Homo-oligomer: A and B are copies of this chain.
Amino acid sequence: MKKYTEMTREERQTEYAAVKAAYEAQKAKGLQLNMARGKPGKEQLDLVTEGLCNALTKPEDFMTDGIDARNYGNVDGLPAAKRLFADVLGCKPEQCFIGGSASLQLMYDAIAKAYSNGMLHSEKPWSKLDTVKWLCPAPGYDRHFKVSQNFGMEMITIPMTATGPDMDMVEELIKDPAVKGMWNVPKYSNPEGVVYSDETIERLASMKPAAPDFMLMWDNAYCVHEFACEFKPFADILSLCEKYGNADMVYEFASTSKITFPGAGISVMATSVANQEYLKPLINVQIISYDKVNQLRHVKFLQDKEHTLALMKKHAAILGPKFKAVLDALDREIAPLEIAQYNRPVGGYFVSLNAMPGTAKRTLALCKEAGVTMTGAGATFPYGKDPQDSNIRIAPSLPPVEELEQAIAIFCNCLKLAALEKMGL
């Protein structure tokens, strides 16, 4: 195959006609394929269903550390659930605040409390400030950016590198006391699958932001989510921050959404005991206690880090071939043309692709026409605006491999058409 940039106009026209014909044939099939969100597939859900649902059946199963998990109480969660997450994340049980079925809600609520009440070291509630600025490594997770946007923050894009966010830029920006926090997905970042380097993590843990109530949001969503390699141990950000005198700066989040049931698992916010003592009464205004029955169900099923990692191997056996199908198609159809770059993640839920600048939206519009739903173009940037109109997030987890192969084949043709159109015909 010839690179598009090396083709003559006539060659591009011939190529366009051929790709267009293939695309029209694909479109005619009237498919409904979805690579939009990081949803686990049915096979993954089946993997855990019986074990999880049969973990608690009789009244005597519900007693744990002297607590009846079926009644009100313990807003910070069951001790057994704290021990489980501490084991998985490498922090201490007393640092784990166990939430409900969604870590996103814990993140949102933490920031919402900063707005309505202020955090432990805040001078006043953030709703009383003129401007709150927030650092957003991008490409990043659209739902993080939407939380910031909801509260009217001024989002500042931090370019992502192969080792994490551009730390020179971060260290410069935090000198501004209006900069109140930063999003991070430190392991298998969404969407690029970047693992922050040790140096990046040290620099983040040791920063001295001007804002006394700076929130280092550490969304460790993919802490045990390797699909193409062994489990990679990862630094405990809480003890690192503590080491640098920043114990109250960091809020780490994780959930079992991609370990057991998406949106029906359990979640954790790991943060200093001082932060928890401050936040617990505020959270207690919102809720008496989270679903401890589901906490205990998960503890009985997952047991500990070792058993959790064993389960993740089974998820990897299902996910691995899906990522391979996507990367194989891109290697075969796109790489030789030099019209896009993409990463080769070994964990997480996404493949991030940078199309020829100015073609992401068009590519996805073509996909939609042919029945392939993708994450909206721009979603991986603050305010949903990709300045290059280039980044595309591919989520291969939901469709079965045979559907995924059809979807990615259509996607490759759309990339080609958009590139050829952009180059002029």
Contacts and interface: CB of A to CB of B under 8 A. Distances in A.
Contact of A264 (B115, B151, B294): B294
B70 A49 contact: yes
A71 B395 CA distance: 15
A45 B71 contact: yes
A133 interface: no
Contacts of A285: 108, 143, 146-147, 150
Interface string A85-109: 0000000000000001110110011
Interface string A278-295: 000010011111111110
A70 B291 CA distance: 16
Give the size range of A's interface with the partner.
Answer: 35 or more
Interface stretch (A56-64, A163-171, A403-411): A56-64
Contacts of A293: 261, 264
Interface string A375-409: 00000000000000000000000000000000000
Contact of A263 (B40, B72, B101, B286): B72
Interface string A110-129: 00100111000000000100
A54 interface: yes
A71 to B, nearest CB: 5
Given A105-B287, A116-B112, A264 B53 contact: no
Interface string A236-268: 000000000000000000000100011110000
A302 B289 CA distance: 23
A227 B193 CA distance: 56
A287 B49 contact: no
A42 B68 contact: yes
Given A70-B45, A263-B290, A292-B264, A58 B62 contact: no
Interface string A59-84: 10010000011111100000000000
A282 B100 CA distance: 19
Contacts of A147: 285-286
A39 interface: yes
B261 A70 contact: yes
Given A45-B59, A49-B59, A263 B71 contact: yes
B49 A105 contact: no
A37 interface: yes
Interface string A31-58: 0000001011010011001100110111
A292 B261 CA distance: 10
Given A100-B100, A108-B286, A46 B59 contact: yes
A109 B102 CA distance: 15
Nearest to A150: B285
A57 B53 contact: yes
Nearest to A149: B285
Contact of A70 (B59, B262, B294): B262
B109 A286 contact: yes
Contacts of A46: 59
A311 to B, nearest CB: 15
Given A287-B105, A288-B263, A58 B68 contact: no
Contacts of A294: 101, 264, 291, 294
A407 B310 CA distance: 50
Contacts of A262: 70-72, 288
Q: Most B CB atoms within 10 A — which of A263, A282, A288? A: A263
B286 A72 contact: no
Interface in A292-321: 292-294
Q: In the A-B complex, list the 10 residue pairs whose CB atoms are closest, starting with the nearest.
A: A264-B293, A101-B291, A108-B286, A127-B127, A45-B70, A264-B291, A72-B262, A263-B289, A150-B285, A46-B59
Interface of A: 37, 39-40, 42, 45-46, 49-50, 53-54, 56-59, 62, 68-73, 100-102, 104-105, 108-109, 112, 115-117, 127, 143, 146-147, 150-151, 257, 261-264, 282, 285-294
